[in-house]
Structure 1
Amino acid sequence: MEIMVLKVGGSVLAKLPDSFYKMVVSLREQNLCQPVIVHGGGPEINEALKQFNVETEFIDGLRVTTEEVLDVAQMVMCGSISKTIVGKLQKAGGTAIGLSGIDGSLLQTIPLDPKGTLGFVGQVDKVNTSLLDTVIQYGSIPVISPIGVDKSGTRYNINGDMAAAAVAQALEGKLALISDIPGVMEEIAGKKTVHDQLTKEEIEEKIASGIIYGGMIPKVRSALKGLSGGVKESVILNGLNPEDLKKFIEGKQAGTKVIHNEGVQHV
């Protein structure tokens, strides 16, 4: 069964309907694909840091992670967020197991910035696929929190998009970045249109011209990173319309595919 890694960001999580979780469980039950969820948790981490009066800053979109910030990020992502997702999948009739990247050295990590400017921010060096295979063979949906560990046992905070791309690459699966809009949109001839697919060149051009902006920029760039890392296919899908998940798995048009090839016909 084909692997489908679903990256669900913290900002989207609060908006996802119960039908999203039912669809994820249904895809597994119908043998259409094996879902693997990698989640983020930015807004919840920000809120928790405020409550604990812990200062935090960002450099190029990445959170500078001190040990204190890391403790809070781990508590939020591996605790409340992970268990909420697992609970919703099980309420929808599935079986799910929450894992952090620390468990069984699932996400073996190296520092993203060897100079230490970002603190304990890591990138995935290797994924323990045998652990994921065991969870999948058990009939479960893995729910992964992006906190990793290096060979010495040091913990690292990992960007959720980067973690999802690494997992999809290691499992030789597809990568779906779950959003709250139908895909990459553009107003053409006075009408809002969703692009069926975009190449790297088109994405950079649309970022430069302001057509792709805000939170969509990291999504499209993560989709591209996934492709360059060996992911079979990357797509941006609307989690608020769960049918799009099924359409994509069945090879029908849904969301915006991010592709390497040029000269392909698309909207």
Structure 2
Amino acid sequence: MLSAKPLTTRHPTFFPLKNSRFPNPKPRLAPTQSLRIQAIMSASLTTSTADPEARTATPALTRVDILSESLPFIQRFRGKTIVVKYGGAAMKSPALQASVINDLVLLACVGLRPVLVHGGGPEINSWLLRLGVQPEFHNGLRVTDALTMEVVEMVLVGKVNKSLVSLINLAGGTAIGLCGKDARLLTARPSPDASLLGFVGEIARVDPAILRPIIANGHIPVIASVAADEKGQGYNVNADTAAGEIAAAVGAEKLILLTDVAGILTDRNDPRSLVKEVDINGVRRMVEEGKVAGGMIPKVDCCVRSLTQGVRTASIIDGRVAHSLLLEILTDEGAGTMITG
């Protein structure tokens, strides 16, 4: 039976763990590190530009100290591929969008190999409403008729993808825009619920050949979650699912899903019941007991699938928190729920 007691560390005792952030024992960092990193990151955004002394309120030595504390995590992930699914509140808010983009570029600069997979739910909803179409969902998946499919492709490939590529390039990274149709990266098949969902596809196959040279050369692939079947019919693919399958195909070290919630909660009405870390068996029990429901189910399913295919860890993190990506990767406390194999 799962305990409803909230977890406060990354390593709870009653969920058996097979992996950890450090496969070999290393000194644990101070538990206040994530708070310090948040404070340092936000200092330049919150100090008044009218007061020159305020801009130097954070001592240079403290900044260097924070970077030094991040070194074990940078060493742990350097050269490793990290797949990030981007959407939700982090996509709607310009400030959070800037946070995600800057985090991706920073991670690339210190030697990680990020891959960004995105949906575009809010933008798609906005365009559908302009056309007089009410967005409809079934079990967390968008019901996609022919008109909706046209809007999905227009928004994801023609607007959101190009915008993200431009923002990453402006931030100093080198991004390359793709969708699942490019070079048969993703081959889709109709969902078993096609009679209810329409042109919503499952992923039948992933061919990561186009991604390997892009990643190896230090570029950031930005992938829109649309795909086609063997006959060329376009399908709307859940971005969480696409990210999970891509992570498995490229042998990613970590999968990260940015969401609009704190993570997995033992009590969906109590944010304090956040589960910091859980293994596959533990999260499956939570689903069986109804503690995971609605739109969280596809997220958990894709995490479990990616782990069973070799991804080391998968995290569902709060995209509403500034610099949540850095908190998840460069601190021991993380920014949501980490699922291990």
Q: Which residue of 2 aligns with 1:21?
A: 101
SS of 1:49 mapped into structure 2: helix
The 8 Å contact of residues 54 and 68 in structure 1, kept in 2 or not, is answered as: no
Paired with 1:176 and 1:115, the residues of 2 have a C-alpha distance of 28
The 8 Å contact of residues 20 and 241 in structure 1, kept in 2 or not, is answered as: no
Paired with 1:193 and 1:77, the residues of 2 have a C-alpha distance of 34
Alignment of 1:253-264 (within 5 A): 253-254=333-334, 255-260=336-341
Aligned partner of 2:191 among 112, 115, 124: 112
After the TM superposition, which of the residue ranges 231-240 and 34-43 deviates more from structure 2? Answer: 231-240
Paired with 2:301 and 2:159, the residues of 1 have a C-alpha distance of 28
Aligned partner of 1:126 among 201, 205, 212: 205
Give identity over the alignment, percent. 36
- The one-letter code matched in structure 2 to 1:237 is I
Aligned partner of 2:131 among 52, 71, 76: 52
Is 1:224 paired with 2:299?
Answer: no
> C-alpha displacement at 1:63, in angstroms?
2.0
> C-alpha displacement at 1:215, in angstroms?
4.7
Alignment of 1:147-162 (within 5 A): 147-162=226-241
Alignment of 1:179-218 (within 5 A): 179-185=259-265, 192=272, 194-206=274-286, 212=292, 215-218=295-298
Could you say if the C-alpha distance between residues 207 and 94 of structure 1 is closer, same or farther in structure 2, counting changes exceeding 3 Å? Answer: same
Paired with 2:324 and 2:151, the residues of 1 have a C-alpha distance of 34
The 8 Å contact of residues 140 and 294 in structure 2, kept in 1 or not, is answered as: no
1:42-80 deviation digits (Å, cap 9, x = unpaired): 222122111122355333222222221110011111122
1:15-61 deviation digits (Å, cap 9, x = unpaired): 32423211111111110x21101111122212211112235533322
Paired with 1:148 and 1:177, the residues of 2 have a C-alpha distance of 20
> C-alpha displacement at 1:240, in angstroms?
4.4
How many residues align structurally?
A: 257
Superposition RMSD in Å = 2.8
- The one-letter code matched in structure 1 to 2:141 is L
Aligned partner of 2:141 among 38, 49, 62: 62
- The one-letter code matched in structure 2 to 1:231 is V
Is 1:235 paired with 2:319?
Answer: no
> C-alpha displacement at 1:128, in angstroms?
2.5
1:105-162 deviation digits (Å, cap 9, x = unpaired): 2211122228644322111222221111232244321111111012221111101111
The 8 Å contact of residues 99 and 323 in structure 2, kept in 1 or not, is answered as: no
The 8 Å contact of residues 20 and 240 in structure 1, kept in 2 or not, is answered as: no
For CA contacts below 8 A with separation 6 or more, give which structure has more relative contact order: 2
Of Structure 1 and Structure 2, the greater helix share is in: 2
SS of 2:197 mapped into structure 1: coil
Is 1:91 paired with 2:199?
Answer: no
Q: Which residue of 2 aligns with 1:9?
A: 87
Paired with 1:141 and 1:201, the residues of 2 have a C-alpha distance of 33
Q: Which residue of 2 aligns with 1:264?
A: none
> C-alpha displacement at 1:2, in angstroms?
1.0
Of Structure 1 and Structure 2, the greater strand share is in: 1
Could you say if the C-alpha distance between residues 45 and 193 of structure 1 is closer, same or farther in structure 2, counting changes exceeding 3 Å? Answer: same
The 8 Å contact of residues 11 and 42 in structure 1, kept in 2 or not, is answered as: no
The 8 Å contact of residues 165 and 229 in structure 1, kept in 2 or not, is answered as: no
Paired with 2:340 and 2:109, the residues of 1 have a C-alpha distance of 29
Q: Which residue of 2 aligns with 1:177?
A: 257
- The one-letter code matched in structure 2 to 1:76 is V
**TM-score w.r.t. length of structure 1:** 0.83
| Shift >6 Å, 4+ stretches | none
SS of 2:211 mapped into structure 1: helix
After the TM superposition, which of the residue ranges 115-124 and 43-52 deviates more from structure 2? Answer: 115-124
1:154-178 deviation digits (Å, cap 9, x = unpaired): 1111011111111001001121011
Pair member with larger Rg: 2
Paired with 1:75 and 1:136, the residues of 2 have a C-alpha distance of 26
Paired with 2:329 and 2:311, the residues of 1 have a C-alpha distance of 15
